[in-house]
Amino acid sequence: MAAGSFRRSIASQLSKVLDLPPENLIKSISAVPVSKKRHVADFQVSIASVIENSSSDCSAQDLHLQAQQLAERLKCDSVVSEISAGPGTVNFTINRELLAKTVLHQVWKDGSEYGVKSELFSTVPRQKAVIEFSSPNIAKKFHIGHLRSTIVGNFIANLKVALGHEVVRINYLGDWGMQFGLLGVGFQSFGNEEKLKSSPLQHLFEVYVQINKAAEDENTKKLAKDFFRKLEEHDEQTLSIWKQFRDLSIEEYIRIYKRLGVHFDEYSGESFYQEKAQEVLKMLEDKGLLQKTIKGTGIVDLSEKKDLSTFSTVMRSDGTSLYITRQVSPSVDLAAAIDRMNKHSWDTMIYVTDKSQSNHFQHLFQILKLMGYDWAERCQHVSFGLVQGMKTRRGEVIFLEDVLNEVRSRMLQNMTSTKTTKEMQDPVETAEKVGLAALIIQDFRGLLSSDYQFSWDRALQSRGDTGVFLQYTHARLHSLEQMHGKAELTDVNVACLQEPDAISVLQHLLRYDEVLYRSSQDLQPKHIVSYLLTLSHQAAVAHKTLPVKGSAPDVAQARLCLFHAARSVLANGMKLLGITPVTQM
């Protein structure tokens, strides 16, 4: 890794002066973010992180003095051309030609693995991760929260795989419960086999809406209860109706997920654990954890003082495990977690849902711990905020496909005004990929836990910090390579890449591994988004100030190499986020 060889060289110097092992210093050496000021160093070391007696009590003046003293003891060499002291930091500038040569060579050599081979990840053990995400409810709205869960879960899975971890992607469907009693009765009254086969999600939702209008009717309630009771008793005819609903829905989900570029290794659901949930209730009882309330519901006391100030309800008064909603009962999730550990022997399990379910998962992990499962500490809930204002031209979003169709048609409309669209092989597919990039970048720009107001106009702008701009930059750099032929690294004269705008791009490419490392630690995509937007803005500036056309051959060749490196890293980062880069726009 380019940054790695420079960090090692700096660490080696520091280790001699500070009498510390170089490997202890590597993570203290960070690439300096590119600044609007033209001249910035490439790496810096914070004094507080390397000198033992530098504590938080030190004044800024003391830290600056210590930085100056350390800088004076270090010497420039063939790698480092300048060493200076900043406010509490020692700054290192790399030999400019070596910077260009090393970065370009590394991007070229590592290709799609650039950044992930960094020594920053050398101490991170390769693990098996189970990631549960998307998880829509059959026959109910695939609301915008499910879209967020889908793209966030996909990003985490992509990142883990890129870093060499084994990942199992699970879609845990809401495919059980009293609503299936209603749905079964509704289908007998309003169902249509043809519509079910041609558009299962839409048709089941329509049936569910219709039967819900009669849900308060005593006769309907009784019929729904009977239908669900038969389901729980495994009545063949009732199960076969339910199975048809489930199978056809999954088929349609797979088709829609394919448009998103998302896949799952396993379609699971609450139905899988109906019997195992009963076994879990028995285990809770045997361990003395299950208590009965006056009303007969089963609860687990989670309070520290065992005074029931915090508890979780796991059983209905009729003795069956709760299936109503995740927020109400963790009993089915307990069974699923235990089953997944037995089946996959995972190192970490991540649940991706909205933040309203934080309490549910807190309780789930607490109960698992009380049951004696130490691995509960390796379970993690990645939560996200709510999105307001996501509407299509026809009104409120009900299905994910509505969103995908809307973003494609809006993008296509925007693209038809540009002359290049007419020459495109498949403008509709391009519009879908660009539109999806717009959705993902708008969603990933802030902290996942933040709520945000969705805006079609803002998301689809071709200038500014948008997914459209990333796609436009990638397509532009790709056409530059198509026009001038692919550069060959062997012929590059790096002395031709000393302009400030070229150095800015090289410095930014140097930081990519740190950005990946940061995202791998907190599972937030915003670090990568911010990095790629900066890279795109830099590439846009360099495209103007460093022309390839009309330049001397060796200058043109060097610039082509620089633009190829920028496009390669841009494409890598976009793919991690779940975006397919386009080559024409």
Q: Compute CA distances 258 → 150, 254, 262, whole Å.
A: 12, 6, 6
143 is catalytic: yes
Burial class (CB in 10 A: 0-12, 13-18, 19+), 332: buried
64 is catalytic: no
Q: Are 458 and 393 in contact (CB under 8 A)?
A: no
What residues have CB less than 8 Å from 336, skipping those under 6 apart? Answer: 172, 268, 272, 273, 276
What is the enclosing helix (H) or strand (E) of 87?
A: none
The sign one gets for the Cα dihedral 533, 534, 538, 539 is negative
Pick the catalytic residue from 141, 143, 381, 508: 143
Pick the catalytic residue from 64, 140, 391, 484: 140
CA dihedral 577, 579, 584, 585 (to 10 degrees): -90
Rounded distance between C-alpha atoms, residue 82 and residue 75, angstroms: 9
Q: Which two tokens stand for residue 15?
A: 């280790």
Query: Across-strand partners of 93?
Result: 82
Rounded distance between C-alpha atoms, residue 501 and residue 507, angstroms: 10
**DSSP letters along 380-448, please?**
EEEEE--EE--EETTEE--SHHHHHHHHHHHHHHHHTTSGGGGG-S-HHHHHHHHHHHHHHHHHHSS-T
Q: Are 356 and 327 in contact (CB under 8 A)?
A: yes
306 is catalytic: no
Q: Which two tokens stand for residue 540?
A: 């846009």
- Angle (nearest 5°) at CA 401 between 400 and 402: 90
Pick the catalytic residue from 101, 141, 146, 508: 146
Query: Across-strand partners of 534?
Result: none
Q: Which residues are catalytic?
A: 140, 143, 146
